[in-house]
Structure 1
Amino acid sequence: MKASPRIYRSLPRYDTQRPSAVTIGNFDGVHRGHQAILARLRASALERELAATVMTFEPHPRAYFARRGQRPELIPTQISSLRDKIQALRLHQASQLVLERFNQALADMSAEDFIERLLVRGLNTRWLLVGEDFRYGHKRSGDVDLLRRAGKQYGFDVETIADIADEHGHRISSSEVRTALAVGNLERAEHLLGHSYRISGHVVHGQKLGRTIGYPTLNVRVPLQCAARSGVYVVRAHGLAAAPIQGIASLGVRPTISHGGRLMLEVHLLDCHLDAYGKLTSIEFLEYLRDEEKFPDLPTMIAAIDNDVQSARDYFAFHGL
């Protein structure tokens, strides 16, 4: 069992002066490109006896500026929830995680203050890994050259990492993952992520309509800006029993029975009845079946669900669990 990272929501750290190896980024999805960065961070931290540290921002800076400018259409969609991001960083052995609040004060901070307050005083940084085009500070005025000069002054080394490409030479990025998920291309998303796409969450109470029509569902909240395309998927539910459970899921706002509802993931487990309220589950997306639809009435909707469930059974019959 890998140890959970120590999480800091403000700097400087309140409990240690331990020197750090640091990388900075949003790490949405923790895809194969991120995984290469984390492997380099881990190796350098080990070699230099430093704390492997990831600094990330909540909310995403682009989301902050889009909201501030009242341009909600510019808010990037979210591949993973904060819980899933922390879990992935734990798996890749980050020992410290800084969740830096992105607000007006941080947006206004000069590049020099960013280095001195967050990296030097905040984390006692001794080694830093960033992308070649990394920008920071007020109006993105700081660059890698300034970091290198500061490193000489404060005693930390700066290493840059180029974009990570896959075996076909295509760049691996969060934007690419978002694009794949937006069109329901789970195979492409899995290629970029290095694993099948998942969303985790606690099972919450829904409207209980599913049980009255013979299809009880587990309701799982997802990020409001969830990157996955709304629609119906073949899924597996993890964490509710000793083995994964086959299922079918609808991601959307339930247009047939609800008006202006929030985005919800509704999962019907095949041939399985269990009380899962309050439990944490991870839903693995296996195949995209169809778009979310608004049906004229309940019988039409039930017929469509019958068809979806048969499609899921066919999928598992062919692929196995």
Structure 2
Amino acid sequence: MQVFRGIPEHAAHTSVLTIGNFDGVHRGHQALLQMLTDTARALALPAVVLTFEPHPREYFAPADAPARLASLREKLLLLAASGVDRVYVCRFNARFAALTADQFIDDILVRGLGVRHLIIGDDFRFGARRQGDFSLLKARGASQDFVVEAMHTLDVAGERASSSAVREALADGDLAHAARLLGRPYSIAGRVIRGDQIGRKLGYPTANIQMKHRRPALSGVFAVSVEGLADTPVAGVANIGVRPSVTSAGKTTLEVHLFDWNRDCYDAHLRVHFLNKLRDEMKFGSLDALTAQISRDADQARAWFADNPIRS
């Protein structure tokens, strides 16, 4: 899959295109991407995604923006796995936000991306003050020779599959519900970095996954499986949160204690799959109390895996 930053002034080729943030690439997104790739193959054209960085809600109201389900890198990996040929990552800034709906169609879709067939969600809005909608695209497509097709909302057991619904499930600790909406267990990927070695001192060494500036969609202690270390996933227990028992910095960390693993994994790029929530994050009065709880967490996670073995 090819990834481009920004939109070209003039497209070199025509395309089958879809547009969206695709945060989490849930089952609704997957159905849309399947429709995109099927149409692209039928027309012998590239399947193209236009997405935005940052998320428009992060631009307009950063303090109120929702937690991201996936980093840009994770989103691109999921798009590639869905069969997308090209992704254009458009920087969402003041200039882009000021584009009228007609300018968006003329400058971005027609000239920049050479759209021949456009597939969008049925609630897609665009342009300054969200003035553009499906009806406008349909009318402009008829005059400028591109087809516009709407993908209707996908329901999962009677619920609309959406990024918001996934976030709500994760915030509630309902990982099974989130997995149904995603079509897979929720996961976070990142590089293992050096931490403060507190886990090692307590007898429970951890792999510290780099979170950068990300605000996670879930917190607490979880039974997890980890990819990227061996031919098969490794079971473990993870804490994602601000570690109130050991620091007051308020910085979010993701730490994973890997079961039956004693090799160095610094700089490895791991994917942590969250399978079962054990408890919320808590503050303990001493390191001894924290250590005792970590021991109970590990025992509880091992017991869960005994009843729910990892499928390789």
Matched pairs, number: 309
Q: In structure 2, what is the equivalent of residue 43 of structure 1?
A: 38
Q: In structure 1, what is the equivalent of residue 141 of structure 2?
A: 151
Q: In structure 2, what is the equivalent of residue 11 of structure 1?
A: 7
Q: In structure 1, what is the equivalent of residue 130 of structure 2?
A: 140
Say whether residues 1:277 and 2:273 are aligned partners: no
Letter of the 1:63 counterpart: E
Q: In structure 2, what is the equivalent of residue 106 of structure 1?
A: 96
Q: In structure 2, what is the equivalent of residue 64 of structure 1?
A: 59
Q: In structure 1, what is the equivalent of residue 253 of structure 2?
A: 264
Whole-Å separation in 2 of the counterparts to 1:316 and 1:143: 48
Q: 279, 289, 298: which one pairs with 1:290?
A: 279
Whole-Å separation in 2 of the counterparts to 1:203 and 1:189: 25
TM-superposed CA distance for 1:273, in Å, is 0.8
Letter of the 2:196 counterpart: Q
Question: Alignment partner of 2:281: what SS?
Answer: coil
Question: Alignment partner of 1:128: what SS?
Answer: strand
TM-superposed CA distance for 1:260, in Å, is 2.2
The aligned runs of 1:111-122 (5 Å cut-off) are 111-122=101-112
The aligned runs of 1:21-40 (5 Å cut-off) are 21-40=16-35
Letter of the 2:16 counterpart: A
Instruction: Deviation per CA, 1:95-148: give whole Å up to 9, x if none.
Output: 010111111111111111111111111111100011222111111111112212
Say whether residues 1:87 and 2:77 are aligned partners: yes
Letter of the 1:90 counterpart: A
Whole-Å separation in 2 of the counterparts to 1:77 and 1:176: 12
TM-superposed CA distance for 1:232, in Å, is 0.4
Whole-Å separation in 2 of the counterparts to 1:246 and 1:131: 38
TM-superposed CA distance for 1:243, in Å, is 1.4
Question: Alignment partner of 1:179: what SS?
Answer: helix
Question: 215-224 or 187-196, which moves further after superposition?
Answer: 215-224
Q: In structure 2, what is the equivalent of residue 313 of structure 1?
A: 302
Whole-Å separation in 2 of the counterparts to 1:17 and 1:256: 56
Unaligned runs of 5+ in 2: none
TM-superposed CA distance for 1:78, in Å, is 0.9
Q: 187, 212, 216: which one pairs with 1:226?
A: 216
Say whether residues 1:195 and 2:194 are aligned partners: no
Letter of the 2:20 counterpart: G
TM-superposed CA distance for 1:82, in Å, is 1.2
Summarize the Cα distance change of 1:239–1:13 in structure 2 as closer, same or farther, 3 Å threshold: farther
Whole-Å separation in 1 of the counterparts to 2:93 and 2:262: 45
Letter of the 1:216 counterpart: P
Does the CA contact (< 8 Å) of 1:255 and 1:294 recur in 2? yes
Letter of the 1:122 counterpart: G
Whole-Å separation in 1 of the counterparts to 2:115 and 2:47: 10
Does the CA contact (< 8 Å) of 1:21 and 1:51 recur in 2? yes
Letter of the 1:20 counterpart: S
Say whether residues 1:124 and 2:119 are aligned partners: no
Whole-Å separation in 2 of the counterparts to 1:208 and 1:142: 53
TM-superposed CA distance for 1:204, in Å, is 0.7
Instruction: Deviation per CA, 1:69-114: give whole Å up to 9, x if none.
Output: xxx1x21111111111111101100001011111111111111111
Whole-Å separation in 1 of the counterparts to 2:256 and 2:280: 16
Whole-Å separation in 2 of the counterparts to 1:117 and 1:162: 26
Question: Alignment partner of 2:75: what SS?
Answer: helix
Unaligned runs of 5+ in 1: none
Runs of 4+ in 1 over 4 A off after TM superposition: none
Whole-Å separation in 2 of the counterparts to 1:125 and 1:85: 22
TM-superposed CA distance for 1:153, in Å, is 2.5
Whole-Å separation in 1 of the counterparts to 2:9 and 2:297: 51
Does the CA contact (< 8 Å) of 1:221 and 1:263 recur in 2? no
Whole-Å separation in 2 of the counterparts to 1:76 and 1:64: 12
TM-superposed CA distance for 1:267, in Å, is 0.3
Question: Alignment partner of 2:160: what SS?
Answer: coil
Question: Alignment partner of 1:45: what SS?
Answer: helix
Does the CA contact (< 8 Å) of 1:224 and 1:262 recur in 2? no
Question: Alignment partner of 1:308: what SS?
Answer: helix
**Aligned residues: percent identity?**
44
The aligned runs of 1:228-243 (5 Å cut-off) are 228=218, 230-243=219-232
